[in-house]
Structure formats: structure tokens, C-alpha cells
């Protein structure tokens, strides 16, 4: 698999992750995870959850308490390091509450492992972006040193 | 380098990261980063910052606005995948405001790359742990499936 193919395959796995989330479908969500005892999940504002059994429970709880959620990931960036890949993106989340559509943003890191020829999630970390911390463009171009 | 040695080396690099943070020392902080244009940093509540020049600016801004901060990392877990490693930990942060010591917790993912024989940070992601989301032990042991 070429490097470019790997990047595309990781991005495709990431899309399956958000499709599973939107579908609130635990089987589909399970399918995209590595399902190892070393897997890690940090939902926005939550403590670190380690191990697939506990991570699976957390998704079940989230899905049970969610009626509608849509994701439009943006700023997707992938880096592949052998059989490990990191993806970062902004989750643009649209949910409905009290008849109004709410747009919120979560900064996300997903770590993927190539297992049996398939890229699967080994770590998911989401953190709410507060409106106070939108990054302004740099006034001067800094040097890499 | 054996797998166990790699885990120890990654944990040591992580300690240097928090020592640099406590010292509010930009040179020490620079030394632990990979300093690449693909590096990523997500401070708690912030947007995604990409590229060492912008990441360096963010640390400079944080250090300029911080007078005292102590870190006691706990729950440190390391996994090494070839020349890439992920570390997760809880940052127990002690800061002082209005004469009182404040204890807060941040869930942290750090991604390290082995560059020229040294483990250096390529991604840092911190998210505040809200008191509402402390994870209770599972009532039943789930199965890995």
C-alpha cells in the first residue's frame, strides 16, 4: 500500500467512524475500533477511558442519550507512520434541542492502527473548542528552529 | 532499543515536557518537540494549531501569561508502534489564584516520534476533565468482541 493509499484508507476509516456515530449504531462503531484492552477514548470533558469493554459501554451510553446528531468533519489531516496513523480534524456537530439546531465544534485526534490490512481506531480524543480560543493568524511568520 | 527501553524513553521525554512547562522555558519546550510543519497542538479548549512556528507562538503566549504551575502526571500509559508512540496521562495541575491553590485535571494525549534516536513530541492534545464526567467502574465486565 503506497503512502498516498494509506492516507486515503485512514480518511475512509475516519468517515466510517462518523457514519457510525450519526447512525447511533453500536455494531458499526465496534467495527471501526481495534477493540483491544489498550484502546483509549476521551470524550469531550470526560476522564480517560481505557480498554474496549469500557469504551464500548461509553458509546452505548452516549447513543442511548442521543436522538439526533450530524457531523461535518473539516480540517482533516492525516500522517502515516508505518502501521500507525494519526488523524486530526474539527468535528462540526449539529444537534437539535428545543426545536433549534445547535452548532458546536470539537477538536479531535484519532489514532489508527493497521490490523489485518484494515485501519482501525486505537485512540479517540475529543475536546470542546471554546469560542474564546479561536486561533488568530500569526502576525509574523515564525521560523522552524 | 528493546520495547521496554522504548517505553521508558518515551516516559522520560514526557517528563521533560512537563518540566519545560513548569519552568515556563521556551527553549526547553522547543527541545522536546519534533519541530515539524506537521506537528499538532490542541491546548484545552483551543482550536487545532498546526506547524511548529504557530505551536511555538502558543507556548510563548501561555508562558507569558502564567506565573506558577505545577504538574503531577498520573495514569501514564505508553504504547510503542515502531518509531511512533502514544502516551496518555492525566495532568494534575496545581496553580495559584487569589492566594489559593487550585487543582484541576486535564486528560492528555501525547504522540512521540523517534527522530535521530530521540523521542520527540509530534502531537499534544489536552482537554479539561469536567467533574460531571468522572467515569464510574463498570458494573459488569464487558467482553472484548
CB B46 within 8 A of CB A129: yes
Q: Do B57 and A142 touch (CB under 8 A)?
A: yes
Task: Give kind and range of the element (H or E) at residue B17.
Answer: helix B3-23
Q: Do A144 and B77 touch (CB under 8 A)?
A: no
Tell me what ipTM this predicted complex has.
0.89
Å from A60 to nearest chain B CA? 12
Characterise A45 by phi-psi region: left (phi > 0), alpha (psi -120 to 50), beta (else): left
CA B128 to chain centre: 12
- Cβ-Cβ contacts under 8 Å for A31 (sequence gap 6 or more): A16, A20
Give the span between the Cα atoms of B88 and B109, in whole angstroms: 5
Give the span between the Cα atoms of A105 and B45, in whole angstroms: 10
Give the span between the Cα atoms of B35 and A22, in whole angstroms: 36
Nearest residue of chain A to residue B78 (CA atoms) = A38
Nearest residue of chain B to residue A124 (CA atoms) = B109
Characterise A35 by phi-psi region: left (phi > 0), alpha (psi -120 to 50), beta (else): left
- Among candidates B58, B82, B134 on the partner chain, residue whose Cβ is nearest the Cβ of A82: B82
- Among candidates B45, B50, B75 on the partner chain, residue whose Cβ is nearest the Cβ of A129: B45
**Chain A contacts of B53, Cβ < 8 Å?**
138, 141-144
Query: Which pTM value belongs to this model?
Result: 0.90
CA A62 to chain centre: 14
**Chain B contacts of A56, Cβ < 8 Å?**
142
pLDDT in tens, chain A (145 residues): 678 899 999 999 999 999 999 999 999 999 999 999 999 999 999 999 999 999 999 999 999 998 899 999 999 999 999 999 999 999 999 988 778 889 999 999 999 999 999 999 999 999 999 876 655 544 434 444 4
**Chain A contacts of B134, Cβ < 8 Å?**
47
Amino acid at each position: 500500500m503506497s503512502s498516498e493509499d494509506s492516507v486515503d484508507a485512514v480518511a475512509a476509516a475516519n468517515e466510517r467512524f462518523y457514519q457510525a456515530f450519526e447512525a447511533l449504531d453500536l455494531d458499526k462503531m465496534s467495527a471501526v475500533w481495534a477493540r483491544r484492552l489498550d484502546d483509549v477514548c476521551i470524550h469531550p470533558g470526560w476522564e480517560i477511558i481505557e480498554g474496549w469493554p469500557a469504551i464500548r459501554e461509553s458509546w452505548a451510553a452516549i447513543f442511548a442519550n442521543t436522538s439526533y446528531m450530524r457531523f461535518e468533519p473539516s480540517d482533516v489531516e492525516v500522517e502515516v507512520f508505518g502501521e500507525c496513523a494519526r488523524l486530526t480534524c474539527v468535528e462540526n456537530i449539529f444537534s437539535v434541542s428545543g426545536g433549534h439546531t445547535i452548532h458546536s465544534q470539537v477538536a479531535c485526534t484519532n489514532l489508527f492502527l493497521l490490523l489485518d490490512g484494515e485501519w482501525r481506531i486505537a485512540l479517540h480524543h475529543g475536546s470542546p473548542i471554546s469560542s474564546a480560543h479561536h486561533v488568530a493568524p500569526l502576525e509574523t511568520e515564525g521560523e522552524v528552529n
